Structure 1
Amino acid sequence: MNVNMFKNVEENFETFRILDEKGEVVNKDAMPDLSDEELTELMRRLVYTRIWDQRAISLNRQGRLGFYAPVAGQEASMIGTQFALDKDDWILPGYRDIPQMVFHGFPLYKAFLFSRGHITGGKIPEGVNVLMPQIIIGAQIVQAAGVALGLKKSGKEQVAITYTGDGGSSQGDFYEGMNFAGAFKAPAIFVVQNNRFAISTPVEKQSMAKTIAQKAVAAGINGIQVDGMDVLAVYAATKQARVEALNGVPTLIETLTYRYGPHTLAGDDPTRYRTKDMDDEYQAQDPLIRFRAFMEAKGLWNEDKENEVIEQAKADVKEALAQADKEPKQKVTDFINVMAEKLPQNLQEQLDEYTAKESK
């Protein structure tokens, strides 16, 4: 038989961008309609996140914070997506996505308590539409699909957005969640922050697919690959994805980005699987440098404004840490009491046991 029965189905996903590496506009038609004040706020959040990340790394090394996943290099992907949301939209983050939570209303001191494993860090204030960071890789995808369907059934003009990395796109939950959202026309946005490595496994060894964005095709939903170090492109793509989601079409957004540091501060050494040339290549595309050049050219940003944000970020971290330090040391009974409103018999027995022990 000389007939090839198999035909490769390929989608051409070109990388969407608005700013080049020098901060110059290369796609004028796609420029989002943002005021000077909004552009300035975007820049402020990028700088704030970079400084906050540096302080968090330092605090971890001092033993004053627990688990932490650095974010430097991925700021545009994080800030650009969150900035495109409405306050009432829901965020289902992964463990690296603390900046999105904080800018969506989650208190910074609670983020520090979450890092320490303190139960207060898991208590979300009323009116803040975030769930706690998912530690299980990719598990938040199906949860986001469910939240999105719930929003649709409630008749609310809200969307659910969730984040994972390139490694999460290899999980079964990733495909199930996208398919579910597509089948039920749920208002969901799935963001894959492709930072090139699932811990130490390069994306090329995770999948034969040329892009992660093309995986949207099988689910029948929208897919787009975005320059994840271009905050304007990320914002524009997410803003449009939100409109599409409210019209019953979910979207998969692949943001091409890069993490400068280790996967987490729990012993990962990126020099074992990345080269200096690779680091240099992506640091030359730094999201802050690019957007700063754009803002300075428009006369909207200068060194004084940046220094003001830097000092504010440092002061906020200091204040949040002091507030976290005031939180009482947690007891075993504290953990049990948050398990359920009405405890089953086995947990009630444990609660009684530890209550007696702690009262001595």
Structure 2
Amino acid sequence: MRRAIALAARGLGGTSPNPVVGCVILDPSGEVAGVGFHAYAGGPHAEVVALREAGGRARGGTAYVTLEPCNHTGRTGPCSAALLEAGVARVVVAVSDPNPKAAGGAAVLRRHGVVVDEGVLAAEAEEVNAAWLTYVRAGRPYVTWKFAATVDGRSAAEDGTSQWITSPEARADVHRLRAESDAVVAGIGTVLADDPRLTVRLTAGVPAPPRAAPVLRVVVDSGARTPAAARVLDGEAPTLVAVAEDAAVPAHLSPHAVRLPRVPGGIDLHALLAELHDRQVVSVLIEGGPALAGAFLREGLVDRVVGYLAPALLGAGAAALGPAGVSTITEIHRLEFAEVTPVGPDLKLVLRPKSPVFPNPVSSKSSGPQSPKES
């Protein structure tokens, strides 16, 4: 199952709005006969890829799969039927499919005499598929806040300069994060100050995920102030500008603008995530700036924090995080470390809330999201 989970991770960034899935087929003697992962939406499922490699050796064997085999016909057929046709005798599942449109594969397999074991390494499998599971269960995209800072938490000097606090190696890793996301989000303050492109620029030799569309660029701009010459409007990738419903939108922003409810301090972020969910955005990367990050954190909409800390001190200047709704230590946002690794001379920290909450979970009786597994 750990091998299947590692295979699933190879699909990150390419499968939206579908999950990442990995599969390992053992022949009756326990030898690996076939492996596979879901590489892109509309492509063959992990089970199908592994079964093709296994051929006749799958008959009487065991399939290890990170997500319950689908019982749904979309652009491809149901994996439950493929496993039955191949004559697999046992299926080991890490995570049950929470999408009612695609779930039911385990029950179908059992009805046909296949032994099905569920829950093996479920936590590890949920980790690799956290974005899609949030998309289904919470009805919103999975949100990662990324920041780069000195070890004293500064993201810019007093004069506003910030390029570059972290190393080329850290910046290359950020572009890998972008490539694994469906949308990159920045606030209007960052756009006006830094004029970022917000595109994916991977280093030489690093293959881009085979995604159906480029990563969406999103600007949170309640007052519709994004300049016509801003690089986020250069046409290199699609751009969405979230403006307040009462904003006067200039002609150059009209093709990109989406009107959302205004709340004190700016745009209703819940409405923004709902809009992105409707556009089949599974994962979002918050890139800038500190005020926007603070607003997402205040609303309880941050699922993961990725920080790049440079071995440097500023002692003054802009903080990496703006007001996050904390006025006393008892209101502190507690996180737990998931990963601490060196990246060049810098340190990469991956953290998650200690008690993740999925607001408005999709009921098993509901129709679920618009895009079921492998739709």
Under a length normalisation based on structure 1, what TM-score does the superposition of the two structures give? 0.28
Q: Which has the higher strand share?
A: 2
Answer 1 or 2: higher relative contact order, Cα 8 Å, separation at least 6.
Answer: 1
Q: Which has the higher helix share?
A: 1
TM (normalized to structure 2)? 0.27
